[in-house]
């Protein structure tokens, strides 16, 4: 079973590489943007014709939330055009597409966890291009699983945890926003969930294609997350809670983006760890 992973040099791509040897029945092809430029239609089709993957996990994305406001065309090319190219290539080679999306498709105005049925209303360029990416996939190829996630961190790539640890080595005090609420997602847990979907799809005649939410369990603010990172790593530093208004950014963030995981847990029999438990182990 050939499984193609796009965006292999990003943190989710690297997380998938870190667990790949646990699944010998899967023949993983890890393609970074230099191996496969998903914004190039012809090269994408050619790559699929050559490798003939049964599954494609698309972890390639433009994820610089603030930069996207001034680089909207670049974000569009990767998040929308790239997604469309992949969906069309998958349609030609009958490849099941697993596509990773984001909590940023929502406006964050709710106060209860977002379900897959909630109406998206993205606030910024990043969220808008990620939503358009979902839509072009849905229009081009029915055999897809779109997995929305949030606050992804790991030992790989660039993320909040690594930024906090770096800043803690440079400063005595940090200010972190405490009025944006969500759930951290350990990228390796997300990688395991994606593999679980592939295994389910491969073993079962019923194909529950569609949109799913995945993050770790629990709820916290960025401030809570930062405090726990320092506690787990036994770092003594003063962390001050501040409102979003005290830390203006080019892109507006959702105030509340907790995701409801009922659908993914019941459909695929996935057990999800709490964010604190996962963080303690990494």
Q: Which of 126, 145, 212, 256 is catalytic?
A: 126
- How far is C-alpha 209 from the chain's CA centre? 18
- How far is C-alpha 42 from the chain's CA centre? 26
Beta-strand ranges (E) seen in 67-172 are: 96-102, 144-149, 152-153
Asked if residues 52 and 7 have their Cβ atoms less than 8 Å apart, the reply is no
C-alpha–C-alpha distance, residues 187 and 152, integer Å: 6
b (16+ CB within 10 A) / e for 127-159: bbbbbbbbebbbebbeebbbbbbbbbbbebbeb
- How far is C-alpha 95 from the chain's CA centre? 20
C-alpha–C-alpha distance, residues 210 and 197, integer Å: 12
Asked if residues 166 and 198 have their Cβ atoms less than 8 Å apart, the reply is no
Asked if residues 165 and 229 have their Cβ atoms less than 8 Å apart, the reply is yes
Asked if residues 7 and 57 have their Cβ atoms less than 8 Å apart, the reply is no
Please give the DSSP secondary-structure letter assigned to residue 33: T
Cα angle 129-130-131, degrees, rounded to a multiple of 5: 90
End-to-end Cα spacing for the chain? 30
- Catalytic (active site) residue 153: no
Active site residues: 126
């Amino acid at each position: 079973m050939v499984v193609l992973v796009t965006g292999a040099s990003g943190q989710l791509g690297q997380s998938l590489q870190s667990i790949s040897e646990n699944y010998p029945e899967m023949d993983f092809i890890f393609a970074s943007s230099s191996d496969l430029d998903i914004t190039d239609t012809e090269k994408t089709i050619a790559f699929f014709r050559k490798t003939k993957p049964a599954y494609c996990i698309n972890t390639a994305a433009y994820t610089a939330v603030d930069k996207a406001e001034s680089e909207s065309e670049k974000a569009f090319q990767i998040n929308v055009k790239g997604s469309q190219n992949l969906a069309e290539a998958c349609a030609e080679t009958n490849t099941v597409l697993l596509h990773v999306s984001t909590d940023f498709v929502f406006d964050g105005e709710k106060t209860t966890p977002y379900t897959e049925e909630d109406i998206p209303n993205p606030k910024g360029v990043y969220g808008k291009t990620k939503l358009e990416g979902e839509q072009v996939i849905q229009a081009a190829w029915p055999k897809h699983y779109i997995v929305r996630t949030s606050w992804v961190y790991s030992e790989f790539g660039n993320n909040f945890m690594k930024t906090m640890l770096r800043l803690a080595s440079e400063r005595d005090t940090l200010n972190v926003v405490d009025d944006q609420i969500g759930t951290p997602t350990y990228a390796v847990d997300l990688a395991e969930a994606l593999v679980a979907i592939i295994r389910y799809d491969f073993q079962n005649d019923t194909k529950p294609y569609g949109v799913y939410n995945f993050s770790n369990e629990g709820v916290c603010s960025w401030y809570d997350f930062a405090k726990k990172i320092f506690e787990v790593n036994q770092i003594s530093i003063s962390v001050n809670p501040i409102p979003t208004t005290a830390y203006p950014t080019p892109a507006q963030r959702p105030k509340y983006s907790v995701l409801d995981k009922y659908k993914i847990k019941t459909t695929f029999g996935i057990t999800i760890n709490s964010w604190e438990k996962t963080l303690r182990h990494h």
